[in-house]
Structures are given as C-alpha cells and as structure tokens.
Amino acid sequence: MFRRTTTAPRGPSAPGRELQIPRPLVTGVIVLGLATTVSALLFPVKPFAEARQGIGVAPASALADDGRGVVNTAQGPLTPADREFMRKIALAGLWELPSGQLAQSRSSSPSVKEAGMHLLMGHQDLNNTVAQDAQLLNVPLPVEPNTQQKGWLAQMNADQGQAFDRDFANLLRSAHGKVFPLVAETRAKTQNSLVRALADQANTTVLDHIGMLEKTGLVDFPSMAK
C-alpha cells in the first residue's frame, strides 16, 4: 500500500533494479498533505470583503432588534428591521441637513453648493415622511446625530477652502454608498406599505445625492472601493 516505485538508472552493478521509497516516509508525506488541506479548510484566507470592516450599514436582516418583535399594523407587519430602517433614515437627516447648510456657507464651488442644496431638499422631504410614518407606527426616532456623524460635522467645520470641498464630497458620497444596499434590501423584504413607500423615496433621494456629489469632480473613487 502507498508503494511508489521508479526505475533506477541502469548500470553495471544494478541492472533493472527498482528504487523503493520507505513506507514511513511516504506515510509522513501523505499525513502532511492531509494536514495542510484540513488547515486550509478550517482557517481560510480572509476574503476581501471581510477585510473591509466598519465600512457600511448592516443589512436589514442584521439590524438591531429593539425587543418589540413583529407588530401588526393597519399597513402590514412592522418588523424590528423596518423600525431600525426608519431610525437610520432619520439619523441620516440629522447630519446631512447641516452638511448641506455648511456647503452653502463654507464653499465657493458652485457644484458643491448645488450638491448641498440637493441634500437640504432631499432630507427635508425624507424627514417629513419618516416623522409622519413614525407617528402612525409608534416608532421613536433619534433626535441628534451619533458620535461618528458629529465627528464628520466637526471635521467639515474645521476645514477651510478646498479641504472643505473634498471632505464634503467624500464623506457624504461614502455615507450614501453605504446606505444604498440597506434601502434596497428593505424595499425588497418589508411587508409594511408605509416602510415600502419610504424605501422608494429614500432610493430616489440617495441616488440623486450620489449623482450630485460625483458631479463635483472631487470624489475619490479608489477610496470608495476599499
């Protein structure tokens, strides 16, 4: 078993002689090969996507459960993911509206000002919609930006000139790119008509904002892909 033979070079002293590899050596090689294979299966190389930690909003299926479970409403079942989606939409407006205002007062670039105006209009409308939906569905909404968003606003407040324009375009383009998959997943899975309509509105708004931010010509696309 596991006998490997090769024909040795013919010579005067060993005509037709076969070279036999010792069985313990063959067994050791096989065991080593099996160990390497098992190791590769148990400890695979970290995939590219996993290396990009903390870059995006969690998918709807992984959003935090607020402990209320599924609530039956006149507009259809309201899941924890639906409620968290509504909170994410409200949270986006809490820092993107001030960002749009900063673009009007801090930038001298017409394209940055225009992108800021789209942020103002889009999130005013989204804020109105999500506030009305939250009242009907009894969903508490955040009232101030989170720590990360406050940091972004502080960074832009400290910027001057072109540094502001670059940070404005890239911080906001990155944030919109991260929320886009969440909007799509919520739209595909929700059974609540109000949440579905909110996702439709958010999809249109986010895509508009992405386009306007990219029109500034300041978006660092390689960094968006990391």
Could you tell me the sign of the dihedral formed by the alpha carbons of 178, 80, 77, 193, in that order? Answer: negative
* Integer CA distances (angstroms), 43 to 38, 46, 53, 82, in order: 8, 8, 19, 36
| Entry pTM | 0.72
Amino acid at 75: Q
Helix (H/G/I), strand (E/B), else coil: 187? helix
* Integer CA distances (angstroms), 22 to 18, 36, 118, in order: 12, 22, 77
Give every CB contact of residue 61 below 8 A, 6+ residues apart in sequence.
Answer: 81, 185, 189
Token digits of residue 56: 């995006």
- For tokens 């906001």, the residue is 172
Give residue 167's pLDDT. Answer: 98
Give every CB contact of residue 146 below 8 A, 6+ residues apart in sequence.
Answer: 91
Give residue 65's pLDDT. Answer: 67
User: How many CB atoms are closer than 10 A to CB 38?
Assistant: 10
**CA within 13 Å, CB half, 130:** 28
Helix (H/G/I), strand (E/B), else coil: 177? helix
Beta bridge partners of 6: 19
Task: Name the nearest CA neighbour of 178 among 122, 116, 223.
Answer: 223
**CA within 13 Å, CB half, 104:** 11
Give residue 38's pLDDT. Answer: 35
**pLDDT per position in the chain (226 positions), as tens?**
434 444 444 444 434 434 344 444 444 434 334 333 333 333 333 322 332 333 334 444 445 567 779 999 999 999 999 999 999 999 999 999 999 999 999 999 999 999 999 999 999 999 999 999 999 999 999 999 999 999 999 999 999 999 999 999 999 999 999 999 999 999 999 999 999 999 999 999 999 999 999 999 999 999 888 8
- Burial code (b: 16+ CB inside 10 Å, e: under 16) for 53-63 equals eeeebeebeeb
Domains of the chain: 5-42 (no CATH), 58-224 (1.20.1260.10)
Amino acid at 50: E
Amino acid at 93: G
Give residue 226's pLDDT. Answer: 80
